[in-house]
Amino acid sequence: MSWDYLFIQVMNGLVVGVIYAMIAIGVTLIFSILKIVNFAHGDLYMLGGYCAYFIIKLLGFPPVLAMVAAMAVLFVLAIILERLLLTPLYSDATERKDEYGLIVTFGLAFFLRNAAIIAFGPFPLKPPSFVEGITEFGDLRVTNDRIFAAGVGILLILALLYFMHRTLWGQALDAVSQSRDSAAIVGINPRRFNSLAFGVGAALAAAAGALIAPIFSLAPDMGVLANINAYVIVILGGMGSVVGSALGGIFIGEAESLFTAFFPDPTRAFAYTNAFGVLVLMLVLIYRPTGLFGRRHLRME
Amino acid sequence: MRIKGRWHAAAGFALLVGGFVILPAQFTQAYAQDTIRIGWVGPLSPPGGYAEGALMKQAAELAADEINAKGGLLGKKIEMFYEDTRGQPEEGTAAAERLVSQDHVVAITGEFHSSVFLAEMEVVHKAGIPIIAVDVWANKITAKGYPEVFRVAPCQALIASKYGEWIAAAGFKNVAVLWEKTDGGQSAKDVLLPILDQHHVKHDEVGADPNSTEFTAEIERLKSHNPPYDFFMTEFSEAGAYPLITQSYQQGFAPSAHTGIANSGGPAVDETFWENVKDAGKYVVTENVGLPKNAWNEITKSFNAAFKKKYTKEPSPQAVENYDAMLVLADAIKRAKSTDGKAIIAALEKTKMLAGRGEYSFSTAHEPDWAYHQFMGAPVGLIQYDKTGQSPDDAPIVWPRNISDVKYTYNKPAK
Amino acid sequence: MRGIHVYILIAAAILLLVSANGMNQYWMHVSIMAMVYSILTSSWSLLAGYAGLFSLGHMAFASIGGYTSALLVEWFGIPIALGMVAGIAVCCLLGAFIGWVCLRMSGPYLAIFTLGFSEIVRITFSTEDDVTGGMAGLHTKPIFEDASRLPYFYTAFVLLAVSLALMGLLVRSRWGLFLRALREDEQAAAASGVAVARFRILAFAIASGFAGLAGGFYAHYIGVLTPGIGALDYMALLVVMTVIGGMERLPTAVGGAIVVEFLLEILRGYGQWRLPLFGIILLLTMRFARNGLLTPLWIRFVRLGEGRIAAAPAVAEVQREDSRA
């Protein structure tokens, strides 16, 4: 195999990986603060994409502004959902909180997915490009939208990391993720930060949705694959670790790209790509049930 | 609980359970005899192809409205019953049963998934109710030989074989086939490959998940293949077809001077095609299962206009098929002067009428086995776009040669 | 009298069997599907409701059972009953294996792992279409070459009854108690001497076996089998049915399957709104009636015969004591 071929596949994997990372970070953030796995995250990503599309179509915003607006909308929506559905997680009267979080987010995903078909119609939609055209690096041709998506994605991830480590609110978030009670003792309101975490996670997913819409088009069930990839990444990178998810996302993006590129049986390589990511996941879980870099599974009780 | 309460509760439960048990049996409502009941089946939600199903349903609605506006059939109005089969065989069985046993329809049209239709046709066969298959391509459907089953769509034998012959005639020698893992994609591949073999065209095939939208890595792999492929045949009907074509183009694979591309399955003639693929769509080959525009008859034109007016969308080929199926059915019922299953079937066999896709008639031959009750004249033309944004009806027809309107068999892009 | 609910149920069952002949084919089909789903929901409740193992791979086992039976019957011409038994056996073994692999996983990790497993199964069945017929569908041999669905109805009924009886026995035994302990607090259970590992594996094996049974019957009933039955949409429906009914006990899980399946059919007229509607019902149920909507009904049903043997006298006693003091 030529080096060019390898290089091209690696570059493509990088771009996709950044998008995966954005979604996965949302999942991991929500997990570290609320201690539940959000099974509806892929559908929030889907909603974000559609939201941006309609903001462009109906309000005439330029794409970048629409993305920001979509992030804001999903932020608010997420907080509403959290208030409506997730408050039992904070009450001592609720038993088996893990299970509750699972089923509720699962049900939410089910609802969102099916309602989206009715609301948005089944036909794939495509908003206008962020940046038109194609850039060529020698033999490698990458659409500008992909470069833009990867670039903005990295920026947002870095912004989030900065927020979490350098700002007061971010550090408070981190405190809550380590110990709700201790955080409460020093005067941090855990409930507010739960909402914040859920909102930020959703906003990030919305950005991802808006960014990929011009590349892959929007469809109501686009959240399904996104969900599965997100879990693979989060578990690889460790539940609760934002950096882990970022790296994990890139890793999975590369892994899928390289698997398709090099798996010996060309007929099956592509079909099994999705299964490959999942297989990696399962193997990791078998040997390390709490994920590669995760802290020991923290339960709410 | 006090004694009285206990017995009340007991009676209540007995009633509840008994109700669940007995009531359904009585659900055979005394139905009004003054409408003609027609059923429609198709996918309207996932995991089925709900986009196409929606268009088919709209076309059926339009047809029913038109027929009723002209006074209905046999002096009665048509009443439509739509069932969502979600692309699952078990839903097909349930939908068919409901239409037959519960809603007492006299005939059914529709369906987009062959695997679902196979389940449905078992039900209607037992009940003797005619069903017109609208857009299911598996050969098995008519090959099974059920008298109740009629098909207006072409079958795989008719479509994929056209592609096979065309590929050979256009001079391609090394084809990459990407097929989606659905009943449609699979049966297309199963018909196409042997034909390519017959013509000594080399081929490699790749299966793909219908939900895929990211093909970059795969396309790179195909691009780097030695010897290079000169044609990229895609059997892909889902939303992912758009990114597939776009990515293939943007990566410099196909369409290009060295590699051609075709997409079979429907997306390339959908209204949203150009919005999604833009320049990548120029030079794409696809099938048009409707009449070429220069052969449009009055019915085709009026349907097109009416559909656009009512739904502000271009009708898809599946929509035209469903509209025609309704017309054909109505015509048969009129000639049979009855709603009895056998009578309608006999009338359908003698169909000879003009509708949106041409002059309809159904073969009664059993050789080849899929010809039975198949609309043999189902138009299948291969078109190749030569302008961005071109309507499928305006695109040059490259195959079969006897209806082709351009001199070339394949229009090779300049770069 | 105590246990009157049992007699009521038996009477209802007899009524059902006798009147089945009069049912029209459509409702018979719906009832048969309801029974198939009941086997699936009750066995899933064993895993999720009793043992606390939220497995998303249940429908994958159903599809494995279905394909195993269908393919063995097609290739070797064995009788269908044997094929189904083979399907169950494969599912039990595979289920036990998965259970063993998942031993150290809890809660969401288990869910994700089983979700991954289910996806791998579905993708494999779909890709290896030379063997499985893929999405074009595999033609299966029907159990009865009969125009009517009636024999299928009786068969499904018997299968459901036997499944419930077996699962009921398990649940009422000490094993059932141990399973319940797993869900409540695994560490406490282990500390109390429950062989946690053994019971987790057992729960998986048994539940998966029943899923395989349902899948096998389904395959030979519908006549066409596709990998779609193992898709997430069907698993989601299973979760919806079980949780709405009540995942903590077998009868409510069965009730959930029956009610949701019938409602889905009755509401067919509402087309695509059916599914989001059930999504909302699920959310409301979890939020406000976590044990399931049918659970309070079932508890009252069971207590029908108990009269004043309930807590009332003890409470009255205490009240009298208090008032004296």
Q: Is the preceding peptide bond at B47 cis, omega within 30 degrees of 0?
A: yes
* Whole-Å CA distances, B392 to B301, B311, B344, B350: 14, 19, 35, 32
In the numeric block, the tokens 């289910």 are attached to: C118
Both tokens of residue B308?
Answer: 């656009």
At B15 the pLDDT is: 55
Provide mean pLDDT across the span B84-96: 87
Contact yes or no for A70/A210 (Cβ under 8 A)? yes
* Contact state of B204 with A267 under an 8 Å Cβ cutoff: yes
Instruction: Reply yes or no on whether the pLDDT at B354 is more than 80.
Output: yes
* Contact state of B221 with A123 under an 8 Å Cβ cutoff: no
Residue B378 placed within a domain: no
Q: Spell out a b/e string for B185-212, using b for 16 or more CB atoms within 10 Å of the CB, else e.
A: bbbbbbbbbebbeeeebebebbbbbbbb
Round the CA-based radius of gyration of chain C to a whole number and report it. Answer: 21
Contact yes or no for C75/C132 (Cβ under 8 A)? no
Nearest-by-Cβ selection for B221 from A141, A224, A266: A266
The parent domain of residue B309 ranges over 35-154+297-371
**What's A88's DSSP letter?**
G
Task: Tell me: do B253 and B391 sit in the same domain.
Answer: yes
* Contact state of A260 with B275 under an 8 Å Cβ cutoff: no
Number of CB atoms found within 10 A of residue B147's CB: 17
pLDDT in tens, B382-406: 999 989 988 887 888 898 888 888 8
* CATH code for the domain in which residue B64 is found: 3.40.50.2300
Backbone dihedral angles phi then psi of residue C200, each to the nearest 5 degrees: -65, -45
Instruction: Reply yes or no on whether the pLDDT at B322 is more than 70.
Output: yes
Task: Tell me: do B202 and B213 sit in the same domain.
Answer: yes
Report the C-alpha gap between B150 and B341 in whole angstroms. Answer: 13
Residue B415 placed within a domain: no
Provide mean pLDDT across the span B14-36: 57
**What's B259's DSSP letter?**
-
**What's C147's DSSP letter?**
S
CA-based nearest residue to B232, from B211, B210, B252, B212: B252
Residue B364: alpha-carbon gap to chain centroid = 22
Mean pLDDT (chain C) is 85
* Whole-Å CA distances, B255 to B223, B245, B412: 12, 8, 9
At C299 the pLDDT is: 86
Q: How many CB pairs under 8 A join A and B?
A: 97
Chain B residues lying within 8 Å of C16, measured CB to CB: 21
User: Among A95-99, B351-355, C307-311, where is mean pLDDT lowest?
Assistant: C307-311
Query: Does B252 contact A at CB distance below 8 Å?
Result: yes
Task: Tell me: do B187 and B281 sit in the same domain.
Answer: yes
* Contact state of A111 with C232 under an 8 Å Cβ cutoff: no
Both tokens of residue A209?
Answer: 């949705």
Residues 6+ apart with CB under 8 A from B279: B249, B388
Provide mean pLDDT across the span C42-52: 91
pTM of this structure:
0.84
Chain A residues lying within 8 Å of B250, measured CB to CB: 134, 141, 143
Farthest-apart Cα atoms in chain B, separation:
92
pLDDT in tens, B108-130: 999 988 888 988 998 899 889 99
The subunits that touch chain B, with at least 3 C-beta pairs less than 8 Å apart, are: A, C
At C320 the pLDDT is: 52
Instruction: Reply yes or no on whether the pLDDT at C52 is more than 60.
Output: yes
Interhelix angle for C232-245 vs C58-76, to 10°?
120
Per-residue confidence at A187, pLDDT binned at 50, 70, 90? confident
Please give the ipTM for the structure prediction.
Answer: 0.84
Report the C-alpha gap between C123 and A56 in whole angstroms. Answer: 36
Shortest distance between the Cα of A3 and any Cα of chain C, in A, equals 30
Instruction: Reply yes or no on whether the pLDDT at B372 is more than 70.
Output: yes
Per-residue confidence at B25, pLDDT binned at 50, 70, 90? very low
Nearest-by-Cβ selection for A117 from B45, B214, B252: B45
Report the C-alpha gap between A81 and A89 in whole angstroms. Answer: 13
Chain C residues lying within 8 Å of B1, measured CB to CB: 303-304, 306-307, 310
pLDDT in tens, B255-283: 999 999 999 987 888 777 888 888 889 99
Provide mean pLDDT across the span C110-118: 90
At B197 the pLDDT is: 93
* CATH code for the domain in which residue C212 is found: 1.10.3470
Chain C residues lying within 8 Å of A121, measured CB to CB: none
Q: Spell out a b/e string for A163-175, using b for 16 or more CB atoms within 10 Å of the CB, else e.
A: ebeeeeebebbbb
Task: Tell me: do B124 and B163 sit in the same domain.
Answer: no
Looking at chain A, which residue has its C-alpha nearest residue C102? A286
Provide mean pLDDT across the span B309-328: 90
Could you tell me which residues are beta bridge partners of residue B178?
Answer: B206, B234
Report the C-alpha gap between C23 and C41 in whole angstroms. Answer: 25
Enumerate the H helices of B312-375 as residue ranges.
317-336, 341-349
User: Among A50-59, A63-72, A119-128, B104-113, where is mean pLDDT lowest?
Assistant: A119-128
Per-residue confidence at C164, pLDDT binned at 50, 70, 90? very high
Shortest distance between the Cα of B18 and any Cα of chain C, in A, equals 6
The subunits that touch chain A, with at least 3 C-beta pairs less than 8 Å apart, are: B, C
Shortest distance between the Cα of A98 and any Cα of chain C, in A, equals 6
* Whole-Å CA distances, C282 to A126, A228, B388, C58, C272: 32, 22, 47, 19, 17
Q: Spell out a b/e string for C198-232, using b for 16 or more CB atoms within 10 Å of the CB, else e.
A: ebbbbbbbbbbbbbbbbbbbbbbbbbbbbbbbbbb
Q: Is B109 helix (H, G, I), strand (E, B) or coil?
A: strand
Query: Does B122 contact A at CB distance below 8 Å?
Result: no
Task: Tell me: do B208 and B259 sit in the same domain.
Answer: yes
Q: Where is pLDDT greater, at B283 or C313? A: B283
pLDDT in tens, B133-180: 998 888 888 888 899 999 998 888 888 888 999 999 999 999 999 998
pLDDT in tens, A13-25: 888 888 889 999 9
Mean pLDDT (chain A) is 84
Concatenated DSSP letters for C184-215?
A: H-HHHHHHTT--HHHHHHHHHHHHHHHHHHHH
Domain count along chain C: 1
Both tokens of residue A18?
Answer: 């950044």
Task: Tell me: do B284 and B316 sit in the same domain.
Answer: no
* Whole-Å CA distances, B369 to B48, B144, B156, B363: 28, 8, 13, 11
Looking at chain C, which residue has its C-alpha nearest residue B18? C12
The parent domain of residue C141 ranges over 4-324
Instruction: Reply yes or no on whether the pLDDT at B1 is more than 50.
Output: no
Contact yes or no for B114/C50 (Cβ under 8 A)? no
Domain count along chain B: 2
Q: Is A218 helix (H, G, I), strand (E, B) or coil?
A: strand
Residue B127 placed within a domain: yes
End-to-end CA distance of chain A: 53
* Contact state of C137 with B181 under an 8 Å Cβ cutoff: no
Mean pLDDT (chain B) is 86
* Contact state of C25 with B101 under an 8 Å Cβ cutoff: yes
Q: Which of A43-52, C22-31, C228-237: highest mean pLDDT? A: A43-52
Per-residue confidence at A181, pLDDT binned at 50, 70, 90? confident
At B7 the pLDDT is: 52
Per-residue confidence at A66, pLDDT binned at 50, 70, 90? very high
At A270 the pLDDT is: 81
Q: Is the preceding peptide bond at B368 cis, omega within 30 degrees of 0?
A: yes
Instruction: Reply yes or no on whether the pLDDT at C75 is more than 80.
Output: yes
In one-letter notation, the amino acid at residue B22 is: I
Instruction: Reply yes or no on whether the pLDDT at A193 is more than 80.
Output: yes
